[in-house]
A and B are shown apart, each in its own frame.
Chain A
Amino acid sequence: MIIDDSALMRRIVAKALRETGIEMNEVLEAGNGAEGIAVLRDKTTDLIFCDVHMPAMDGVSFLRQRSALGFATMPVIMVTADAGDPMVAEALASGASGFIAKPFSSQEVREQVLALMEHA
């Protein structure tokens, strides 16, 4: 699942995922953390890419909610334009598996996903 308030960024991340060659059944999308939680309640996902700053519910709040709902082990990769943002550190402390800083290439997405799969 890709959670981002920018439809463009959701499609960019989806494209980068497709370019990794990793087999995917379906890419789910949500426009903010609250929508992401709603999707989690309904569908099974293996991996989540999540923006840090979003309206309605930001990435850190999403991480906390998803833990409270019993999905704490579901890997979440944060996506940010500001790697030095204190919220990135907060996200990592709240259970995010890692982060990708924009601008990113498909190769960086692939490396992050493969690293997570190796540790799964």
Chain B
Amino acid sequence: MSTTDAHERWAVLMDETVAETFTAMLGLGCIPSQTSDAQTDAPLRKISARIEFSGAIKGACDVAMSNADALKIAAIFLAGAADDAMAADTVGELCNVLAGGWKRRLNPPASGAGLSVPAIVHDKDEMPSAVRQAYDCDGAQLVVRLNVQQMQEE
């Protein structure tokens, strides 16, 4: 499989993961954004969370959202108002669930790779990404980035 094919496949698997996550936990549709990355990424740099893969995958998954959108999603999660402290927690949890769900869709041994706990990262730590997808979720936007340096997959 070429690098481009692999990146396209990873993007499709992330689309499925995002859709499943938002449907199961929030009852919301969440679809790839029609807006270009360049347009959507800039205002979304306020909170980023990162999960590092280990074992059969060397790389990381980042999820970025604006503070306001993170609180919007938290309020839907909780069916009530979310306080400011919930914003980073929301992005971290989304990153955790999306990284786990994406990894599960890969073939072994990559599907058995380890996940770190989510860490909040800053713009200066933005990683080069093989896959960068923006999503629209009931008016909130998130950007998912995958940086895979190495993967063992059957």
Contacts and interface: CB of A to CB of B under 8 A. Distances in A.
Interface of A: 6-9, 11-12, 15, 53, 55, 80-85, 101-105
Interface residues of B, number: 27
8 contacts: A8-B77, A11-B78, A15-B79, A81-B115, A84-B103, A102-B21, A103-B25, A104-B25
Contacts, number: 63
Consensus secondary structure, chain A interface: loop
Interface of B: 20-21, 24-25, 74, 77-79, 82, 85-86, 89-90, 92-93, 96-97, 99-101, 103-104, 111-112, 114-115, 117
A101 to B, nearest CB: 8
Contact of B117 (A12, A15, A53, A84): A53
A55 B117 CA distance: 9
Nearest to B17: A103
Given A81-B115, A103-B25, A8 B100 contact: no
